[in-house]
């Protein structure tokens, strides 16, 4: 049943050109230079230090590496990272097609 609704939502996204973060609940990552990263629709923090931040997303994980990073603000759906950002990597779930 869940897969049917997911397929329907995917179809709706394609046909009606609605952003995927709205219909599928996917994460939205916005970077401002190498100073700020805004992450929306996250599912929580996995690990956190000044050099790397690992977050859980609806479709995998997000790994942000850098230097002197701090979490500027953390809200239920939103996270703002500040510092010298070197790399942002998205790790997919293994079981996902």
Partner 1 sequence: MQKTERNWKGQVELFLVGEQIESFLNECIQDDISFVNVERKNVSHVQAIMNIPDVKKLRKIARNHPIKVSFGERKGMYLYNKRVLDVLDLSQVFSCSSSLLAFCHKWFGGWMLKELRRRSNMKYVYGHKIKFSTR
First-residue to last-residue Cα distance in the chain: 17
Among 47, 58, 84, 87, binds partner 1 (CB under 8 A): 47
Minimum distance, C-beta of residue 48 to partner 1, in the bound complex (Å): 6
20 vs 60, beta carbon nearer partner 1: 60
Nearer to partner 1, 6 or 58 (CB): 58
Cα angle 23, 26, 32; round to 5 = 120
The answer to whether 48 and 71 are in contact (CB under 8 A) is yes
74 binds partner 1 (CB under 8 A): yes
Write the CA distances from 82 to 37, 49, 72, 73, integer angstroms. 7, 12, 6, 9
Distance separating alpha carbons of residues 71 and 5, to the nearest angstrom: 35
CB 54, min distance to partner 1, A: 9
Site pattern 27..46 for partner 1 (x: CB under 8 A): -----------------xxx
What residues line the site for partner 1 (CB under 8 A)? 44-50, 70-76
């Amino acid at each position: 049943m869940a897969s049917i609704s997911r397929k329907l939502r995917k179809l709706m996204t394609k046909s009606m050109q609605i952003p995927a973060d709205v219909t599928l609940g996917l994460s939205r990552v916005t970077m401002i230079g190498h100073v700020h990263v805004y992450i929306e629709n996250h599912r929580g923090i996995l690990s956190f230090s000044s050099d790397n931040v690992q977050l859980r997303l609806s479709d995998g994980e997000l790994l942000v590496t850098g230097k002197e990073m701090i979490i500027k603000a953390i809200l239920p759906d939103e996270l703002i990272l500040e510092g010298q950002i070197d790399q942002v990597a998205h790790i997919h779930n293994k079981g996902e097609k």
